[in-house]
Amino acid sequence: MRRWSIAEYVKDKASRRFQNLIGDEVHEYKAKSSDRGVAFHQLVEASRYTLTLTGTYFGGKSTSIFWLLHRLNPAVRSDFAFHDELRWAGAYGVLESVRKRRAGDGTSDEDGAFTGNRRYREQAHEIPGVSPAIITRLLNNSIFLNLKDLGVELPPFTEEVVELDMDNEPGRQYRGMESILRHMARRDQRYLSLWLQWALSRPNSVFRDEVVLVDEVDGEDGSAIRKVPLMELPAINPNGHKWLPKEDWLASFCKAEKQLGRKVLVYVRQTGTRDIQDRVQMPLQSAGLRVAIFGGNIDPRKREDWILKRVNSIDALICNPRLVETGLDLVLFSTVVYFEIEYSLYTLWQSLRRVWRLGQSQPVKAVFSIYSSTMEAKALSLIGRKMKAAQLLFGDEVGGAIVPEDDGDFLTQLARDVLNGTKLADLQTLFADEMQVSNSPLGSPTETSPLMVPVLSASQTWEEWLRKHSIGGGRPVSGRNGKHGNRAFPGQLSIWGKE
């Protein structure tokens, strides 16, 4: 006896019985091997037509839509296998290649024993960005709409980044911890997630004692035996007698927003086993603000009612952005503060849209607070690159507080021209790398020779110059007889003219 999922049963027993499949929030089905993604594909195969809806289609990298398109589009399935995400990224995304050689004294065993040739390892991974060529996969099956297309104007929306310096004592502790863990991660990739977790979280949790734990590994099979302490991180300002810089700024900012009649939504990422929401609430309350914490223990069907009952009696609401990313209207709040950075572009945009949507009557402000020279500052920069790539794909005006500015960025204009149907120049020419040109009369084995431009007399035309130099008129450029190379097959145009 086996259990059948509803989607699998519909595919096997009721295939083509349904005319239309409507999938809302379709970005939730983008993962390569998630159960909901597999179920969605089974329903797609069981239906004649599929209509999908989402407000956050693209996640900043080309592969963020690869498996979604693979499940929806037969043309993508015919051109790419399900595990061809790297080839897809090479065609429609941005790949960064890293060339490595084993560290040592220069006598690596991998080098040629007789020739001395050095051998390298090249690894390619995808970075945020998108090629304009991806438009060819979307134009015939995608419609990008916003409220402006429907004649509806939303209030103004602005973004800003607040960059703060850590105090001396927390800064020293953070830099020492981050340096040690980064060194460990470079030596052994098993420590990579440990380094990232602590480097991203510790700046906002220095108010409490914490211990960095690492796995003790069995020497024989490499499996983890138990957790052992690596370093102790003592608390700094544990009782709030002196607020941390970001906490102090948040209290002052929310107090100023209250005076303007604006309610603030404070997004915090650490809300599970490393919960800091109670700590974030303390400086706000000490500033005389009314604050509520929206936790994950509230029934999803009752979340909107829970907020509506309290919204008129609070000045700020603290919560994890993932709790409100779908299905909630939070238009009674007009300011959003990311106390900690959310690293999913989908969640970031969805949580912003809870506030900036139909029904909002005030200008909306989004503020990203970070400590300078920390991992969260680097993470915000990466999110900005993802957001820029998504804006390029959607055809939106590229810009924002966290979107990097590029002077003379021709890719931006190129993407706009593709969306507007403008006739483009040769893409190979546009995307050619800058070449080093040799000015030596003898040429160079490593650099390109300059282009030789023909010199025409005042009375000479291009056709006359070509005929004089045996180019055109059916004669080959080289000294060969050209019996095969220059022959045009029936129905094929010849570049050599009529024969």
pLDDT at 298 over 70: yes
pLDDT of residue 315: 96
| Rounded mean pLDDT, 209-219 | 82
Give the model's confidence band at 381: pLDDT under 50 very low, under 70 low, under 90 confident, else very high: confident
Q: What is the CATH number of the domain that holds 300?
A: 3.40.50.300
Where in the sequence is the domain holding 61, given as residue range(s)?
6-98+121-147
* Same-domain check for residues 125 and 159: no
Given a contact cutoff of 8 angstroms between Cβ atoms, the answer to whether 296 and 318 are in contact is: no
What pLDDT is attached to residue 219?
60
Token output for 395: 């055809």
Is 422 a member of any domain?
no
pLDDT confidence bin for 461, thresholds 50/70/90: low
- For residues 180 and 296, membership in a common domain is answered with no
- Is the pLDDT assigned to residue 407 strictly greater than 50? no
In a domain, 48, yes or no: yes
452/284: higher pLDDT: 284
Q: Are residues 249 and 384 in the same domain?
A: yes
Residue 118 has pLDDT above 70, yes or no: no
- Asked if residue 386 and residue 265 are part of one domain, the reply reads yes
For residue 440, pLDDT over 60 is answered with no
Same domain membership, residue 161 and residue 228: no
Residue 445 lies in a domain: no
Residue range 418-429: mean pLDDT, rounded? 37
Last-in-domain residue among 87, 112, 147: 147
Residue 205 sits in the same domain as residue 295 = no
Which residues lie below 8 Å from residue 229, measured CB to CB, with a gap of 6+?
Answer: 211, 212, 213
Whether 216 and 260 map to the same domain: the answer is no
Number of domains making up the chain: 3
Cα 98 to Cα 120, 122, 165, 344, 389: the distances in Å are 10, 6, 33, 25, 22
More confident call, 364 vs 95: 364
Q: Is 272 helix (H, G, I), strand (E, B) or coil?
A: coil
306-343 per-position pLDDT tens digit: 999 999 999 999 999 999 887 788 999 999 999 998 88
- Beta-carbon count within 10 A of 442 CB: 6
Give helix 35-46 / helix 6-13 axis angle, nearest 10°: 20
Judged by DSSP in three states, 493 sits in: coil
Shared domain for 190 and 161, answered yes or no, is no
Across 201-210, 295-304, 370-379, 407-416, the highest mean pLDDT is recorded for 201-210
Gyration radius of the chain's alpha carbons:
30
Q: How confident is the model at residue 109 (pLDDT cuts 50, 70, 90)?
A: low
> Given this model, what pLDDT does residue 122 score?
67
Highest averaged pLDDT of the listed ranges 102-111, 134-143, 255-264 = 255-264
- Report CA torsion sign: 23, 321, 371, 270: negative
Asked whether residue 20 falls in the same domain as residue 141, the answer is: yes
- Give a yes or no: residue 329 inside a domain: yes
* Percentage of the chain exceeding pLDDT 70: 70
Average pLDDT over residues 446-464: 51
On whether residue 486 sits in a domain, the answer given is no
Pick from 344, 376, 398: which residue ends a domain?
398
Reported pTM: 0.65
157 and 300 part of one domain? yes
pLDDT at residue 393 greater than cutoff 70: no
DSSP string spanning 56-103? ----SBGGGTHHHHHHH-HHHHHHS-TT-HHHHHHHHSEEEEEEE---
Whether residue 140 lies inside any domain: the answer is yes
Do residues 279 and 365 both lie within one domain?
yes
Confidence band, pLDDT 50/70/90 cuts, at residue 444: very low
Average pLDDT (91-110) is 63
> Does some domain include residue 485?
no
Q: Taking CA 402 as the corner, what is the angle to CA 400 and CA 404, rounded to the nearest 5 degrees?
A: 85
User: What is the reported pLDDT for 433?
Assistant: 36
pLDDT at res. 457: 57
pLDDT at residue 134, rounded to an integer: 83
Q: Which of 4-18, 298-312, 429-443 has the weakest average pLDDT? A: 429-443
Q: Which amino acid is at 63?
A: T
Q: Which among 214, 233, 252 is the end of a domain?
A: 233
Average pLDDT over the chain reads 76
My answer on whether 189 and 159 are in the same domain is: no
Residue ranges of the alpha helices (H) in 328-420? 345-353, 375-394, 410-420
108 is a domain residue: no
Query: Using CA atoms in the order 278, 284, 289, 295, what is the torsion angle rounded to 10 degrees?
Result: -30
